A and B are shown apart, each in its own frame.
Chain A
């Protein structure tokens, strides 16, 4: 049940990167406004 194949690992990495990028973008935009 818990084994992961290559496609799944890629998917998890992409998900984490996308959400991480969204958080970074929100902070970046907020920083520009605050300046």
Chain B
């Protein structure tokens, strides 16, 4: 009897907080509703009203189911936090896809869910049709989703908590974030939003001015600036046109976007430290050291290779394209200043290999970026050096090895092990995606490129991702984007929780 009570209690807690997160995120549909009203787009307006009603009812129903458990003041445990995080991402991917499907711009609900997951995980690959003629309301929603996804839906929900909830940190950590900027989670979530909103104002203003200078009309320039900022800061890669960043034909526009997406790929803890007077942190931090070293090296090697094969006859144009695409891949943004097929036809196998490595490494932990992150690369690299030094030094020599990430940490085997496990998970997901691509007849290098882009939440495409690709690949890519963004653990916790529940139910039925 008591085990049933505990089970209900667990379900109640999970249900309440999942409903709360759904309610907060889907309330944001107010923004595309207002946009549709402003531009007198009546069909999209209706789509969003229907979608918001369905989502609100779902959120409220889940909260009502769990209200008893919430009132009993049960503690949120780690398993609750991780399951809430992973479950709310899945439910939100379906609920937020309703306006896409109702708009008629996606060929199926699967395509709509694919695009929403691509937005939430800040990947940026697109299956939406006729991108150049989307309504302003739907465009606003697409870019808003990628902006929220970058910061994290749970971060958004926690920043709106009226009072601090015990155990909220466990839900926060479930979204793949582990940095506490201030001693409480609500304050941390608010600081993350403060950093993002300040850059939203600066970045949108810079892009707006540039947009007007290059000839866009003021209102259009503002919307483009807002969309491109949201995509850049979230390292998402969505753009309001099919030509992506090439639409603007502007080196200055690309450079502003580049600065924004590099900033977006940095750890929120690092932003906070610099904003609070610790400006030397950017040079001392293991993550930024790792990012500057790997991205600079990748840019130079790609440049040497593409010069060797004479990929671009115009040197300045070539330089601009190479650096932009390498940095876009490394920060996991996915803006492309060349067409998808040009990677396959012009960059050669070696160029594709560099992009794959850059995409898999990715940006910083606790940032908007994907990939297995510079922090883990730095830790594993330092761990390797530590092991070599230990072998070479005297057995009596007991030296402590450290790394710097906001503060000094002692490099322990536990940190190296957990970093290596996550890197292995990424590599396995990448390898499985590559195999699946080859199974469906795509060339090996192209399958590997697309798989790295999806697993690392990048969004650059070599041409495989299209509405016509097999449904199995769409489903796998959705799962890979989701796993990559949540960094595996919370998704595994959800699977474990479901299977644990099924096992217990089967065992109790067998007993009776």
List residues of A whose CB falls within 8 A of some B CB. 1-2, 4, 7-8, 10-12, 14-16, 18-20, 22-23, 25-27, 29-31, 33-34
* Pair A11/B263 contact, Cβ less than 8 Å: no
Please report whether the interface of chain B is mostly helix, strand, loop or mixed according to DSSP.
helix
Residues 238-279 of chain B, each 1 if its beta carbon lies under 8 Å from chain A, else 0: 000000000000000001001100110000000100111101
Q: Which residues of B contact A22 (CB under 8 A)?
A: 262, 292
**Chain A at the B interface: mostly helix, strand, loop or mixed?**
helix
Residues of A within 8 A of B198 (CB): 2, 4, 12
Contacts of A4 in B (CB 8 A): 198
Instruction: Output the least CB separation between B129 and chain A (Å).
Output: 35
A8 to B198, CA, bound (A): 11
Query: What are the 9 A-B residue pairs with the smallest beta carbon separation, nearest first?
Result: A11-B275, A11-B274, A14-B279, A8-B275, A34-B315, A30-B319, A19-B262, A7-B277, A19-B259
Cβ A23 vs Cβ B322 within 8 A:
no
Of A26, A27, A29, most buried by chain B (CB within 10 Å of CB) is A26
> How far, in whole Å, are A30 and B194 apart by their CA atoms in the complex?
35
Q: Give the size category of B's interface with A.
A: 20 to 34
Query: Footprint of A on B, CB under 8 Å?
Result: 190, 193-194, 197-198, 202, 255, 258-259, 262-263, 271, 274-277, 279, 282, 292, 295-296, 299-300, 303-304, 307, 315, 318-319, 322-323, 327
Given contacts A7-B275, A26-B327, A34-B303, could you give 6 more A-B pairs where the C-beta distance is less than 8 Å? A1-B190, A10-B279, A14-B282, A19-B263, A30-B303, A33-B303
Q: Shortest distance in angstroms between B318's beta carbon and chain A's nearest beta carbon? A: 7
- Cα distance, A34 to B263, chains bound together (Å): 27
Distance A2 CA – B319 CA, assembled complex (angstroms): 39
Report the bound CA distance from A22 to B296 in whole Å: 9
Q: Which residues of B contact A10 (CB under 8 A)?
A: 277, 279
A26 touches B299 (CB 8 A): yes
Question: How many angstroms from the CA of A21 to the CA of B263 in the assembled complex?
Answer: 13
CA separation between A31 and B316, bound complex, in Å?
8
Q: A2-B197, A7-B275 are in contact. Are A30 and B323 (CB under 8 A)?
A: yes
Chain A residue contacts of B307, Cβ below 8 A: 33-34
Contact B319 A27 (CB under 8 A): yes
Contact A34 B318 (CB under 8 A): yes
Q: Once the chains bind, are B282 and A15 in contact (CB under 8 Å)?
A: yes
Q: How far is the CA of A24 from the CA of B18 in the complex (A)?
A: 45
Can you list 14 A-B pairs, Cβ within 8 angstroms, ordered by A? Answer: A7-B275, A7-B276, A14-B274, A14-B279, A15-B275, A22-B262, A23-B327, A29-B296, A29-B299, A30-B319, A33-B300, A33-B303, A34-B315, A34-B318
